[in-house]
A and B are shown apart, each in its own frame.
Chain A
Amino acid sequence: MSKLCSGVVACVLVGGCYSGLAGDGSGGSDGGGDSASTGDGEDTGIGACEGDDGSLVDRATLRRLTRFEYNNTVRDLLGDDTLPGNAFPSEEIGNGFGNDADAQPVSSLLVEQYGAVAESVAIRATETPERLAALAPCTATVTDATEVECVRTLLADLAPRAYRRPLQDDELDELVALQQTLRADATFAVSIAGVLEMILQSVDFLYRVEHGRLDGDGRVRPTDHEMATRLSYFLWGTMPDDELRAAADAGALSSASDVRAHAERMLDDPRARPMVRFFFDNLLPISGLAALERDDVRYPKYSGAIGALMREETQRFLEHAIFDGTGTWPDALTAEYTFMNAALAEYYGVDGVVGEEFQQVALDTTQRLGVLTHAGVVAGTIHSNETNPVVRGSFLVQKIMCNAIPLPSGDVLAEIKPPDPDSGATARERFSRHSEDPACTPCHMAMDPVGLALENYDAVGLWRDTENGVTIDASGSVPGTEGTIDGPVELVRKIAAAPETHACFAQHWANFAYGRTHDSADACVQTAVETAFTESGYDVRALLLALTQTDAFLGMPAGEP
């Protein structure tokens, strides 16, 4: 068990230091890899782990594009911005980001949809002379005599970008031959569409295939084009751009410093921002806010439109805090400002905000502080019209601080239901059984006191001083920390000051970056990343750069070809 969970919570913690939702499955590995960092050389990045290059052989390493990545990739490859990948069945929750290489099963439905979506994308990309010309200008003047040459030109440009590597041997000939076969029964445009349809279902497009190469020290590393792909999907969620491809062609992505230089460039580019949004859409309970429904008699100010604005508030704030502000996670957790437009400000009861544009607004720091007190974050954890201190506390303790709390046994779990709304005036009364029944207490004392400190926020995230006429007691505590707290502002200060909060944040980013679910075998790499994060003063950009400098990112499993 790593230091992340040593004796923090009174309740028995489950192994592996990480617990997602019930049913995540466990990609547990008992592989080795706890050996100490040895730092073998100046330009080998951080966290070199002897006998363990950070990727385990018994894990699947082949990553399939997620819906987010597929959408971005067809946009950048073919200019198709219709988000066609949303037609695919949703990913397994896995590591929380849907990109866990060990949790990407293939269903008949998925493969059928790959085919159907590929066909529609391919038709859109070829249906007008203008679209065809965008693929290759020669299509505008193509004749029977020049057709094969034009197809060759088109595919010599398109296929390496789609496959994210140079074509090998006779691959181009094969692709041209496929076009010629299809041409027998079809127009020129339809035959090109057919080749595109094939490419979009191909293993080289849908999967991030890595063959690797041996470096001078006898270690297996990704090729430069494979490294370009690792960088671009991690930092931009899409295929490599021309600069990355040029660097790979020139053999200039081999060293840790090469990789770092590109990572810095990429983080400065606006294309990094949608990736960060995607990360927080999955880390925080905000992606479904536009569809969040509430009783409109009890919550007349709330609507799905307000939910969408709440999500935008949190995303706009985080984007600013990370890219334009101080850039540290503790500052994001305790920021005294947020972003609102007029409609959202009116919802919050904040004066002086005009217009549809989001703008920076100072918070009333007696009531709110930092991202965890945003209306969307406290409302999004709740799946009903009543607040629930257990799910709010569980979110903060398990997802934000990575302190795993086991689910109750099957018999108890099946009986769990929210308390009767009439069983007490306040949530503290309604959930009082948790602090009284010895069967509940050990675990619930690790969650409820955290969630109860948020009771001043109602089920739609608005401030309240009373519930059913009774003044809310928002006192509580944070397990593993000293003392007690009163209210949400003290709560988030406590959370922001706890080292495990930041280790947890780094762990989520590592899971996202490496497409895996953290387990004890990752301890060495994880420690290296956490150390770099801590030394940077918890700077998020520094964390993202550090994630490109580990052996997990720079290397490949030994023993794999």
Chain B
Amino acid sequence: MIKRPTLSRRTVLRGAGGIAIALPWLEIMGGGKRASAADPSKRFVTVYTPGGTVIDNGAGENRWRPTGTETEFTLSPILAPLEAIRHKLLVVDGMSMTSAQGEQHQAGIIAWLTGTTQQPNYGYAQGPSIDQVIATLLATDTPQKSLQMAVRWGTGKSHGLLHPINAVNFEDNATFDPIPPRLDPQAIFTSLFGALDPDNNADLAARIARKKSILDFVDRKYDGLAQQLGARDKQKLDEHLTKIRELEGALDQMIIPTDVCVLPEHVDTSDYNPTTGLDSADDGSILNTETDQAIPKVGKFMMDMLVMALACDVTHVASLQWSDTEAKHTFPWLGLDQHHHYYQHDGNFRPAECEQIYTWYAEQHAYLLQQMDLVELGDHTLLDESVVFFGSELAQPPVHSKSDMPFLLAGGGGGLRGGRFLRNAGLADPSHNNLLVAILNLFGDERTTFGDPAYCTGPLSGLT
């Protein structure tokens, strides 16, 4: 079986007998070195929001694009909630998702992180998503290779099931399988922070030893059998084995509470049904107002968990989805009792209501970035060593356009420089695959193309 060659700092800390000792690990492992522009980014976060933004409100006004120069600019009405964190924000204007070929919403959400066209017959992606490629680069010693979460997901025509209209993340393996996001905030809390919960901690060392014995046995049997099978079946078992080894690896990497790694506040979400999508109607006519009312609370809880999952080194790559491309849920806290898709085009384009929704998403994003910026890691913050990519499957809802995409980057990982507005960043070549490969470069991956090469001419410059 695979034994990780690098000495994990936690393995060191657990020491003989597996007892965790809270030492200042940054010093021991030399991790306290000042993050500099040359250091690759250490963490990657993607935030998906449905239905683009308001590029044209019908009166010729672009309600998303800032005005001004690269460094002297005024945020637009929709982006105004990000003002407090603008010094770490990079507004990337003018990119086109030219690789989004297929059904209009599906091809958009598929291409956003993969840069590939949709498989024929309304299938999934034809390549991995960048978060998974980055997870492979970064996941050397975290309990979870990556984390996918979604709020009020599986609406409308997907009826709560994984579908090309709601999948954002795709495995970095031979078949690029879509990854189902985690939906239940309580299950996420247990999965991420169960070990930090004092109620679970009594026999933790014994429990870990037991799990290791069991998984080691399971692992050897998968490995042995895979060697005896035909190529397709071997691939299937190898993928299973990879996931078992992730679980095994996680046991070696207990979370250690520190000054910055603290248990997030455990929020009661009993009023929120995470699988309400299973009851959804194609046209959004079936409402679950109680669950919709809980979206802000659940969203904040998930963002808090996301930030702590990074701060506690549970994972270095996280994905948050606000709903899916159907977005057939209501916004009762905004006084909007129709579903989002209705305001996008099902009930004709309603720019004012759409702007309300997108502005609210910007507020949530500001919260996430600020929380990341509150986590102090020596001389810099968690946000400073991260890259956060915010996007959608289209730009202007009624026409499903993929040009002038509402993309935001944030953080300082890999030398990313915030506080800037890149007007017409894609002037030379607007294809967003160029942005994807430039993001990969921030993580020390030096490739020059990503996704479908027909839509990629090389890394977008100007991020650093």
B279 CB–A CB distance under 8 Å: yes
The answer to whether B210 and A92 touch across the interface, beta carbons within 8 angstroms, is no
A483 contacts chain B at the CB level, 8 A cutoff: no
Cβ of A201 and Cβ of B230 under 8 Å apart?
no
- Asked whether, in the complex, the Cβ of B214 is within 8 Å of the Cβ of A384, the reply is no
Question: In angstroms, how far is the closest chain B Cβ from the Cβ of A60?
Answer: 4
Q: How far is the CB of A174 from chain B (nearest CB, A)?
A: 8
- A14 to chain B: closest CB distance in Å? 8
Q: What chain A residues lie within 8 Å of B281 (beta carbons)?
A: 293, 383-384
Q: A residues within 8 A CB of B266?
A: none
* Chain A residue with Cβ nearest B394: A414
* Of A61, A111, A295, A414, the contact of B240 (CB 8 Å cutoff): A111
Chain A residues with CB under 8 A of B285: 295, 384-385
**Closest A residue, CB atoms, query B205:** A185
Beta-carbon contacts of B278-303 to A below 8 Å, as 1s and 0s?
A: 11111101100000000000000000
- Give min CB distance, B408 to chain A, whole Å: 25
Contact A25 B124 (CB under 8 A): yes
Verify B217–A384 contact, CB threshold 8 A.
no
| Min CB–CB distance B395 → chain A (angstroms) | 14
In the assembled complex, the Cα of A26 lies from the Cα of B209 at a distance in Å of 43
A283-B178 Cα distance, complex, nearest whole Å: 24
Bound state CA distance, A288 and B278, in angstroms? 9
Q: Is the CB of B206 within 8 A of A186?
A: yes
Name the A residues within 8 Å of B119 (CB-CB).
Answer: 25-26
A residues near B58, Cβ cutoff 8 Å: none
Q: Interface-forming stretch among A101-109, A241-249, A350-358, A362-370?
A: A101-109
Interface centre among A19, A92, A186, A203 (most CB of B within 10 A): A203
Q: How many A-B residue pairs have CB under 8 A?
A: 165
Interfacial chain A residues near B244, Cβ < 8 Å: 111, 201
B365 CB-CB contact with A under 8 Å = no
Known A-B contacts A62-B229, A410-B104; A194 and B283 likewise in contact (beta carbons under 8 Å):
no
A106 touches B240 (CB 8 A): yes
Judge if B237 is at the interface, Cβ distance under 8 Å: yes
| A203 and B237 within 8 A (CB) | yes
Instruction: Name the A residues within 8 Å of B217 (CB-CB).
Output: 174, 178, 198, 202
Residue of A at shortest CB range from B158? A23
Query: Which of A60, A185, A198, A561 contacts B218 (CB under 8 A)?
Result: A198
Report the minimum CB–CB distance from A5 to chain B (whole Å): 16
Q: Give bound CA distance, A112 to B60, whole Å.
A: 50
Q: What residues of B have a CB within 8 angstroms of the CB of A560 in the complex?
A: 229-230
A-facing residues in B232-279 (Cβ within 8 Å): 232-233, 235-237, 239-240, 243-244, 246-247, 278-279
A411 within 8 A of B: yes
Select which of B105, B171, B182, B243 is within 8 A of A111 by beta carbon: B243
Chain A residues contacting B137 (CB-CB under 8 Å) are none
Instruction: Name A273-296 residues within 8 Å CB distance of B.
Output: 288, 291-293, 295
- Whole-angstrom distance between the alpha carbons of A535 and B441 in the complex? 65
Chain B residues whose CB sits within 8 angstroms of the CB of A288 once the complex forms: 159, 278-279
- Judge whether A129 is part of the interface by a CB distance below 8 angstroms: no
| Bound CA–CA A374/B169 (angstroms) | 40
Contact A182 B229 (CB under 8 A): no
A43 on interface, CB distance cutoff 8 Å: no
CB <8 Å contact, A194 and B225: no
Within 8 Å of chain B (Cβ to Cβ): is A51? no
B161 surroundings in chain A (CB, below 8 A): 90, 93
Q: Is B180 positioned at the interface, with any CB of A under 8 Å from its CB?
A: yes
Measured between alpha carbons, how far is A202 from B104 in the docked complex, in Å? 42
Choose one: A23, A111, A203, A414; the contact of B124 (CB below 8 Å): A23
Asked if B243 and A26 make an inter-chain contact with CB atoms under 8 angstroms apart, the answer reads no
Bound-state Cα–Cα, A26 to B122, Å: 9
* Bound complex: CA A270 to CA B89 (Å): 65
Contact with B along A72-110 (1 / 0, CB 8 A): 000000000000000001101100000000101111111
Interface size of A by CB at 8 A reads 64
For residue B429, CB closer than 8 A to chain A, the reply is: no
Residues of chain B within 8 A (CB-CB) of A178 are 213-214, 217
- Is A22 close to B, CB under 8 A? yes
A181 at the interface (CB under 8 A from B): yes
A204 near B236: Cβ-Cβ < 8 Å: no
Contact with A along B87-108 (1 / 0, CB 8 A): 0000000000000011111110
Cα–Cα distance between A111 and B213 once the two chains are bound (Å): 17
Contacts of A197 on B, CB cut-off 8 Å? 214
* Chain A residues with CB under 8 A of B102: 410
A293 touches B279 (CB 8 A): yes
In contact, B221 and A417 (Cβ under 8 angstroms): no
B28 at the interface (CB under 8 A from A): no
Determine whether A115 belongs to the interface, using a CB cutoff of 8 Å to chain B.
Answer: yes
Whether B175 sits at the interface, judged by CB under 8 Å, is yes
Given the known A-B contacts A26-B123, A60-B236, A106-B243, are A194 and B286 also in contact in the complex, defined by CB atoms under 8 Å? no
Taking CB as reference atom, which chain B residue is nearest A90?
Answer: B161
Q: Are A60 and B232 touching (Cβ within 8 A)?
A: yes
Q: Is B162 an interface residue (CB 8 A)?
A: yes
Q: Encode B162-199 as 1/0 by CB contact (under 8 A) with A.
A: 11110000010001011110100000000100000000
The answer to whether residues A414 and B171 also contact, given A26-B123, A209-B225 and a CB cut-off of 8 A, is no
Chain B residues packing against A (C-beta within 8 Å): 101-107, 119-124, 144-146, 157, 159-165, 171, 175, 177-180, 182, 191, 206, 209-211, 213-215, 217-218, 221-222, 225, 228-230, 232-233, 235-237, 239-240, 243-244, 246-247, 278-283, 285-286, 346, 400
User: Can you list 25 residue pairs at the A/B interface with Cβ under 8 Å?
Assistant: A23-B163, A23-B164, A24-B123, A25-B124, A62-B237, A92-B162, A105-B171, A105-B177, A106-B240, A109-B180, A110-B243, A111-B244, A111-B246, A111-B247, A112-B191, A181-B213, A182-B213, A185-B210, A190-B210, A198-B214, A203-B222, A203-B240, A293-B279, A407-B122, A417-B283
Besides A23-B165, A109-B179, A202-B218, 5 more A-B contacts (Cβ < 8 Å) are A22-B122, A178-B217, A198-B217, A203-B240, A407-B122
Ordered nearest first, which 9 A-B pairs have the shortest CB separation? A414-B104, A105-B177, A22-B122, A111-B243, A383-B282, A62-B233, A60-B232, A23-B164, A410-B103
